Structures are given as C-alpha cells and as structure tokens.
Chains A and B, each alone.
Chain A
Amino acid sequence: MIDARYWLAGVLALPALVAGASLLRVDVERLRRLAVVSAIVMLLASLAVAVAPDLRAVSIRTSILSGARGGEALVRIDALSSALLPFAAGLWLLTVAVTPRAALDRAGLRRTALATLATLASFLTESAVVLLLLWIASVWTFLSALSDPAHRHQRRVVATYLGASTVLFGAGVALLVWPMAQGTRLEIVGMWLIVVAALVRMGIFPFHAWVPEVFDHGRLGPAILFSAPQLGAYVTVVLIVPRASPDVLRVVAILALCTAVYGAALALVQTSARRACGYLFVSQSALVTAGLDCTSVSALAGGLLLWLSAGTAFAGLARCVLVLEARRGRLDLSTHHGGYERMPVLAISFLSMGLACTGFPGTLGFAGQELLVDGAVDVFPVLGFAVVLASALTGLAVLRMYFALFCGRRDALADSGIHLGLARREAWTFALLVMVLVGLGLAPRPVVDSRFTASEEILRLRQARLVTSLESPSAPSSRVRAPGE
C-alpha cells in the first residue's frame, strides 16, 4: 500500500529535481537524460492512479481562500485530474525527448520542468486563488523563454494578450472569493472576467489573434509547451462550468463552435507551417471549449476526451514541425519539400498525429469527436454541425501540410550520405506516441469511462451549486437557472 501523500510528493518532486539539477554544472545531454528518465517515472507513477484508487485519498481542503461553504480543495485527485496527471507527464516527456540538440540548454530544461510543475499543480487544485498563482507562474515561465532580443515581437504579443488575461483572471478571482461579493452582481461580473480570461488563453474568437502570431514568430517549443496542456480548459471546467449560468455557457459554446471552423479554415490557407500549427491549435482548443460548455454528459465527456487526445496529438504534430525545422529551416507550405524516404518515421508520425487531431477512426480522437458531435447537436441543433465542418477542414489542412512537408519532390540529398533522419530517442518517442493514440483509439473504454465519470462529477457539482444558490436568500434571480429553464 502506497501512502498517497508520499506518492504525490514524489510525483511533484521529479520536475523539481530536474530544475534543481539544472542549476549545477551538469552536461546538457546528461541533464536531458535525467529529464527523460524523470518524465518516464512521472508518467508511470501518475498512471498508477488508474490501478490504485487508494491514491485518490489525497485531499487538502481549506476555507481560508474562499468563502464557499465547506471550503475548497487546495489539493485533490478526482476523476478529472486522474487522467490529466499522465497527460501533463506525457507532454513533459515529449518535450524533453525530442527537443533538437541546437535548442537545448540548461535554462530551457529548467523552464520546461518548472512549467510542468506549474501544470501538474494546477491540475491538482480547485482553489481559484491557487489557480491564479499557478496561471501567473506559467505565463512568467513562457515569457522568460522569450528573453532573447530576437524574440521581441513574440514577447510583446505574449505580454499584451496573456498579461491582459492574467489581469482579468486576477480581478475575476478577487470578486469570486471576496465575501462581500458573494451572491451579488459583483460575483457575476467576476465570473465574466474569468470567462474572458479563459477565452483569451484558449485563443477563442475574438481573442485568438495572438496564437498564430506567437507560433509564427520566435520560439516554437515554449509556445507548444505553454499551449498544449490547455490550462484555460481546466479553469473552464473547475471554475466556470460549476458556477456559470446557462446563458454564459451558451455564449461561450457558440463562440467556440464558430472558432473551431474559423481556425480550421485558416489553417488550410497558411503558407507558414508554424502559423498553420497555430490555427490548428485555435481550432482544437475551440472544440474542447465547446464540449466543456455544453452541459450534457456526452458533450462534456467528449470535450474532456478531446482535451487529452487533441492536446497530445497536437503537441506531437507541432513537435514534428519543430524537429523538421531543425533540419531544414523555416518551412514554407506553398512549395513541396520531399524527403519522405529519409525520414519515414517522422512522416508517418506527423500524418498519424494529424489524423488523431481530426478524430480519425482508430485514434483516440474518434470517440471524443463522436461524443462531442452528438452532444453539440443535442444542444445546438444547427450550429452543432460546425464540429463536422471543423473536422473536415482540419483533415484537409493536415494532409496538405503532410504533402507539402514530405512529398512532391525527390530529395536532392538522398544519395549525399548526409544523415538527416531522426535520432533514436526522437524516433522512439514519436512511435510510442502514435502507438498510444492508436492503441487507446482501438480500446478506448478505460479512458472514455473515466471521462464520463469526471463529466458526471462536474455536472453533479454544478447541480449542487445550483441548489445552494437557489436556497440562498441573497441570490440574484438570474444568476444560475436550473437546466431546461
């Protein structure tokens, strides 16, 4: 029997260990190996939650940071976070295993470890104040990765948009936890501020413009690591869905559905591979947001599932672009690059992960996509079909990128003896990622069951808050209405 607290402390200590080791005079490749081993250990340890339910006994509650009756959980492991922990570990492993040698340094590995720690800690809490602090930490970590003067434009974009979203989030949290604001219109204002902050972070229209800009200019690796965990989705699930009125959720879902189509359509016409990745992220995160804001069990479960599948697949796809860039420089999609024969694993991985983003049958995204489409059409009989359109356009964008990046030309250096194929760790990482996406796509039941359980828990919490607010004498009549009213 493992003591759950020691287990959790061990999991959180792993990125801290790597961050600490980066301060020593350690060879960069050795540090990378330490990071890879730590990430693998973290991944295996976090998967232990699935087989050892005792580990979910961890819970630290307090009422200091919130006026909510019964307090709130500073640290907890529930059905939602039990799948997010291995997700965060997997993203860390992907990052440290395939970062090109030229982009690798001690400071970068430290930032990666700290960003992972912030993400992990975020997935363990439901406290608004703690989430705010971790939100600030993640933005700061991203900004610190852009300290080079060459990335000035990217830094300005990040500072402006994410700085504004952080301020909005902070103001919203302050109004949410302020006892004087409880049950008044100020609480509703606070909720809206948090909603807008989450929309900015997730890149939902009309706050999406920063995403392709950040992907296109400056450092792609930190942009992927910042975006892929989709912390905005977590804030949505933990803070917004349990509290917001049906009207708020409806507005957000409509914006998200439109953004999903918009992002996919624009990804199709980009000439820069990076910018296309940015718009693909916009589309994928919009689909996740749409699912999270449709208050039906299947749509919410679909959104939670897409969060995992699209987040993983997108991170892998974008890392493929990064790996390819390290070998060829900036990638122009208006011309054909060829080179499939020299890097078939990369090409196959790119295509597989791109198809997983579209919900292709046989990948984990298929189950999520089907649940989301059904749920979205139940809530929005016409607009729900936007999911279908977004999926079609995303598939086309992915195949266009695949053909442009790997086909259409005979590799001029095929017989030169110059080795441009993947390193062993890169090849194995991509291959394993594809196997996970396809394997879970063929046998999705454990993951889908866990997302349904999480979805039911979230909606149960929403229902409980609804009952509490209706019983409260100071409740404004329009704050939260019962479903179907």
Chain B
Amino acid sequence: MIPMASLEVLMLVGVGSPAALLALLGSASLVNRPLPERWTGRLAAGAMAISCAAFCAALLVYATIRMEAMVLYDAWSTSHPGGIAIEFLLDGMSLGFAALSAAIAGIVSAFSNRYLHREPGYNRYFFLLSMFVTGLLLVALAGNVEVLFAGWEFVGLSSALLVGFFHERPAPVSNALRVFSVYRISDAAMLSAAVLLHHVAGSGSLSLLFGGATFSSAAGPTGTDATMIAVLLVVAVAGKSALLPFSGWLPRAMEGPTPSSAVYYGSLSIHAGCFLLLRAAPLLEQSTPARLLTGGIGVATALYSTLTTRVQSDVKSSLAYAALTQVGIIVVEIALGLYTIAFLHLAGHACFRLLQFLSAPNVLHDLHGLEAAVGERLAPGGGYLEARVPEGVRRQLFLFALERGFVDAVLDRLFVDPFFWLTRQMSRLDRFLCDVVIRRAPSILVEAAEDRDD
C-alpha cells in the first residue's frame, strides 16, 4: 500500500509541477503583470527539475514493486454516472516516457533560459513550454481517453503557438495556422477514437486498448470495432508525428525558436505518436488491416523523408526530415511487433536528435572551427545513396525531394481548395437568400420596421 501511495504522490508531483508553472505564468499574463525574466527562468528550472526528480523516483519505486497502478479520480466532473473521470495508468512504459520527457524538458528549459534572454516573448515561451510538458505528461500517463485527449490538445495548441512565436512576421503566423489545421485533423481522429471506444466498450479506460494487466471489467474491442478504433488512432498519430500524408507541416514548424523545435520536432512531440502506437499495440495486434496500414505509412514516410532531408537548404529542416526518417522506422518496428526495440529506438533517438537541434545554431561555427583545426576545407560527406542511383532517376528524385513530394500541393488540390470554394459559395448563397427573404417579406413587417425610422 505504501509504495502504491508513494507512486501516486510522486506522479501527482511530477505532473503538478509543470501544471503549477503553467497556472502561475498564465495568471500573471492574464492580469498583465508578467513575472521578471529572472524569476520565470528560475521557476521554470525548478518546476522541470522537480518533475524530473519525481518521475525518476517513481521509476525506482516501480522497479521495486514491479506492479502496475491505476490512479482514479472518478468523481472529478460529476457524481452522476456518465461523467468524466481522471485516470492515470502507471507502469514501466508510461513512467519511463514521463521521466524521459521531464528530463528533456528540463534540459531545454535551461537552454532556453539563455537562448531567449531578453527576447520580448520570454514569458510567453515558458508558458507554452509548460503547457506542452503538462500535456505530454498527461499523454504519457493517461489511463483513460479523456486524459489522453486533454494532453493531446495541450501538445497541439502549444506547438502551433510556438511555431507562431515570432508573431510580428506574417510567415510564422501563416505556417502556425497550417500546422494547427493538421493538428485539428489529428485531434478529431483522436476524439473519434475515444468516443468509439466508449460506445463499443462502454468504458473509456485505456487498459482496454493497452491490454496487459486489465483494470477494467469491460471487454476490449474486437473485429471491425478494433479496426475502426485502430485506424482512427493511426490517423491521429500520423497527424501529430508528421507521417505521410501529413508531412507537409514539418518544415513549416521550423519557424519557431530553436529550443522549441528541438523539444517538439526533434525529441518529444514527434515521438508522442509513436509512444501512443506502442501503448495501443495490443489493439493493433487485433487488427491486421490497421497493422498493415501502420507499416505502410511507416515505410513510405521513411523513404520520403530520407530523400527530402538530402536537399534541404537549412539545417533545421534537414534535421526535421532526418528525425522523421527515424520516426518512420520506429513506426515500422511497432507494426512488426518489435516493441522493446521501438521503445529503445525512440528514447535514444529523442536524446540524440535533441542534441543535434540544440547544436544547430552553432553548426556553421563548429564547422569553421573544425576546418581551422584541420587546416583545410573538409570534403562533404555522405552521398552513398546518390552514387548508386542513375543520373536520370537522380534528377527526378531531386525534383521530388525539392518539392517535398508535392504533398502540400496534392492535399490543397484535393481537399483544401474544394473546401474553400464550397464554403464561399454557401456564404454567398446565405447572403442571397437573406436578401430574397427580406424583399419578399410581407409588407406589414417591412413597414413596421420602416415606421421606426420616421
């Protein structure tokens, strides 16, 4: 009992710490009394350190007791049946990912404290970072679909607002909106999966999806239901992790500050989808079509991004696509059932890519330093794949990669443009109908209106 209770306390401290920072910074901004930069930096560092320490301690406790725990607050929204409960599922994978997330967030927080020194949006940045960390921890520890969805939304909104961080320029803002539009598709798919799970299983407990030690007495989804839920989850993951066909938003997201690009698109946010797929692996195993879809998307994404990363002209976009290549491979590993390898791959890749992103602003400086030490220009490396591809094919692939697979253009042509055309026609029709109704209205009503003008 005592270790279980301590596990719950540590979890609450771990999640509550960035949440408290979020509340504090948000309240201060709302009353137009933003904290001084020094205070914000210290509070952020402290909150992330506490969170990291709490989850590391929780991992140690879990390693000792080797027992999963479900923390349930079932009367959070209402005492009536059918309300929303708050559930957390504490096991090795969730605590491990939470500890990794808290550690990476702490590193990025410390880096950002210096990187964004005297930046006008300093407080805003840390507010959004704390929102992201809170959301990601909710995703990691979610025991039911409502908590998962809440975390998912926090991650998405903070990501979009950080893409538009330099909001005095139009390009970051436009790109942020584009990123958010893909996230909304992902959120809609996630919510649909959650609702379907409720509808099918009568419960929103994620133990129905995650299998293992079952904390719910309800039967998990099977057959067509499992396929539908799994496919919706795959769509949600594809949107959040920039898998095909949603990869177009990834280079746009590089508009944000480098530390946010590191934590979102290098290490954590882009892997959140993979983590969710890992958790939902038992559900995937019940649905061969969903598994094939997952594997196919993973392969296509890996091939696509390994081509695209080679032609990028800026280091952050190149790193983003390189990260996406690995994410595609992780997704393939999950589809093949290699869960342990996938988790280790995820954790190692997140740390490695974080380092690369944080070093990105210095890459030219580091290169010049290296060349100065060596005493000559260094020959460009790589090119192994290019050397094996015929010239004609290489040109076609170069064009394909340069245009980023025409993904955005295809999606715009197929979905965005028709949507805007249709809705604009509907808007015109509304105006026309209103005019017709007014002109044809019984005269008594029109006269009653016009009498008041006299």
Contact = CB atoms under 8 A, between A and B. Distances in A.
B310 interface: no
Contact of B445 (A163, A366, A385, A393): A163
Contacts of A270: 427
Contact of B448 (A163, A208, A393): A163
A407 B173 contact: yes
Given A155-B453, A269-B424, A392-B185, 16 more contacts: A159-B441, A160-B437, A209-B430, A265-B419, A269-B420, A269-B423, A301-B82, A336-B173, A352-B30, A361-B149, A367-B78, A370-B84, A377-B199, A392-B187, A410-B168, A448-B77
Contacts of B364: none
Contacts of A366: 150
The 9 closest A-B CB pairs, nearest first, are A361-B150, A407-B167, A159-B449, A448-B78, A452-B80, A392-B188, A160-B441, A209-B434, A408-B173
A144 B451 CA distance: 12
Interface stretch (B152-160, B273-281, B297-305): B152-160
Nearest to B131: A362
A268 B423 contact: yes
B152 to A, nearest CB: 9
Nearest to A427: B32
Interface of B: 27, 29-32, 75-80, 82-84, 120, 146, 149-150, 153-154, 157, 160, 164, 167-170, 173-174, 176-177, 180-181, 184-185, 187-188, 191-192, 195-196, 198-199, 419-420, 423-424, 426-427, 430-431, 433-434, 437-438, 441, 445-446, 448-450, 452-453
A393 B167 CA distance: 22
26 contacts: A149-B453, A155-B452, A155-B453, A156-B438, A156-B449, A157-B438, A212-B427, A212-B430, A266-B426, A270-B427, A301-B82, A367-B78, A373-B191, A374-B82, A377-B198, A385-B192, A388-B191, A395-B184, A403-B174, A403-B176, A435-B30, A445-B75, A445-B79, A448-B80, A449-B78, A449-B80
Contact of B423 (A266, A297, A361, A381): A266
B239 to A, nearest CB: 11
A307 interface: no
A470 interface: no
A73 interface: no
A373 B195 contact: yes
Interface string A181-217: 0000000000000000000000000001110110000
A407 B199 contact: no
A360 interface: yes
A344 B191 contact: no
Interface string A317-353: 0000000000000000000101011001100110010
A301 B78 CA distance: 11
Given A213-B431, A341-B120, A399-B180, A388 B195 contact: yes
A68 B76 CA distance: 40
Interface in A256-290: 262, 265-266, 268-270, 275
Contacts of B427: 212, 266, 269-270, 275
Contacts of A381: 199
A361 B153 contact: yes
Contacts of A399: 160, 176-177, 180
A20 to B, nearest CB: 23
Contacts of A262: 426
Main secondary structure of the interface of B (DSSP, over half): helix
Contact of B446 (A147, A160, A367, A393): A160
Given A341-B120, A409-B170, A403 B164 contact: yes
A220 interface: no
Contacts of A212: 427, 430
A389 B79 contact: no
A403 B163 CA distance: 12
Contacts of B120: 341
A255 to B, nearest CB: 16
Residue in A156, A377, A393 whose Cβ sees the most chain B Cβ within 10 Å = A156
A334 to B, nearest CB: 12
A7 interface: no
A355 interface: yes
Contacts of B168: 338, 340, 407-411
Contacts of B424: 269
A345 B452 contact: no
A370 B80 CA distance: 14
Contacts of A395: 180, 184, 187
Interface string A357-400: 00011100011001101100110010011001101110110011
Contacts of B420: 269
Contact of B177 (A301, A400, A427, A448): A400
Given A155-B452, A159-B445, A407-B167, A431 B30 contact: yes
Residue in A378, A388, A407 whose Cβ sees the most chain B Cβ within 10 Å = A407
A397 B169 CA distance: 20
Contacts of A411: 168
Residue in A152, A208, A362, A377 whose Cβ sees the most chain B Cβ within 10 Å = A362
Given A377-B199, A385-B195, A408-B170, A391 B188 contact: yes
Interface string A411-441: 1000000000000000100010011000000
B170 A448 contact: no
A163 B160 CA distance: 44
A47 interface: no
Contacts of A164: 441, 445
B15 to A, nearest CB: 13
Nearest to B82: A298
Nearest to A163: B445
A143 interface: yes
B121 to A, nearest CB: 9
A178 interface: no
A370 B434 contact: no
A461 B430 CA distance: 38
B191 A391 contact: yes
Contacts of A370: 84, 146
Nearest to B453: A149
Given A161-B437, A265-B423, A434-B30, A389 B188 contact: yes
